[in-house]
Structure 1
Amino acid sequence: MTSQPESPDDEMIRTVFDVVTEELQPGVRLIRMSGEIDIASTELAARAIRAAVGPPARIVLIDMSAVTFCSSAGLGNLVEARQLATQHGIDLALVGIGRPVDRPLSITGLGGQFRIYASAEDALRERGA
């Protein structure tokens, strides 16, 4: 959970967000995000992405199936992940995209810049991993 002062009386606004990274097999990482990706949680998401999207990974999947809200800050996290993956020659894909993420990706036109799969299993099967 993250917090930031946001209200007129400097009361803390709580945002529920979590991110977990796991290595599915050598060179294959899965970043699972859940909750709300907004200005309050974007730095936590960015740290997890920076830690996962680099050597020795060859495939990184970002699972967004448990994301309930994705602001422009969250889209910025995904763009950063794509840029890091390109820099390091890593195959990046998004998995489990639901309406809270699909809608902003579609509206901004960013959806066409990512490979998107229903599940991590589908992504790995297509990639022969």
Structure 2
Amino acid sequence: MTSQYESHDGEMIRTVFGAATEEPAPGVLVVRLSGEIDIATTELAAEAIRAAVAPPARLVLIEVSAVTFCSSAGLGNLVEARQLAGQHGIDLALVGVGRPVDRPLSITGLGRDFAIFASVEDALQQKGS
């Protein structure tokens, strides 16, 4: 998916973003985000996350290994996911956190608010699914 918006000087800026959700086991959803999560794509990310972090899900893994950039808007998506998970009693974890996501999580201190796993397989093994 590609999102475009106009910059202040009138040039079009292209942002590449993708989101796919799969269900590897009943009640377990994996939301795979890729590309840039910024102001141009934040609503697309939010839609994918909101659709997953809702009953009857019991575990949602947000896989971010293919994310190449995460702005404060992207961090907002993750915070919203955590809040929704808490409201619905859903276990939530981040998976495949590389530098583009780890850096803003670390700088803001938000990293300590999330369970983080190296892979979906590790998360499923740890979470008992």
Instruction: Say whether the fold is shared (TM-score over 0.5).
Output: yes
Identical aligned pairs, as a percentage?
Answer: 73
SS at match of 1:16: strand
Give, in whole Å, the separation in 2 of the partners of 1:111 and 1:29.
21
Inter-partner Cα distance in structure 2 for 1:127 and 1:19: 23
Please show how residues 8-87 of structure 1 align to structure 2 within 5 Å.
8-9=9-10, 11-87=11-87
**Could you list the runs of 5+ residues in structure 2 that have no partner in the other structure?**
none
How many residues are treated as equivalent by the alignment?
A: 128
- Structure-1 residue corresponding to 2:96: 96
Whole-Å separation in 2 of the counterparts to 1:84 and 1:114: 13
Partner of 1:110: 110
Structure 2 counterpart of 1:77, one-letter code: N
Unaligned residue ranges in structure 1 (runs of 5+): none
CA separation in 2, counterparts of 1:31 and 1:7?
A: 33
Shift of residue 83, structure 1, vs aligned partner: 0.3
- In structure 2, what is the Cα distance between the partners aligned to 1:47 and 1:12? 24
TM-score under structure 1 length normalisation: 0.97
Cα distance in 2 between the residues matched to 1:103 and 1:75:
11
Once the two structures are TM-superposed, the CA of residue 7 in structure 1 deviates from its matched residue by: 3.5
- Aligned AA (2:52): A
TM-score, length-normalised on structure 2? Answer: 0.97
- The reply on whether 1:120 has 2:85 as its aligned counterpart is no
8 Å CA contact 1:7, 1:13 repeated in 2 = no
Q: Which amino acid aligns with 2:123?
A: A
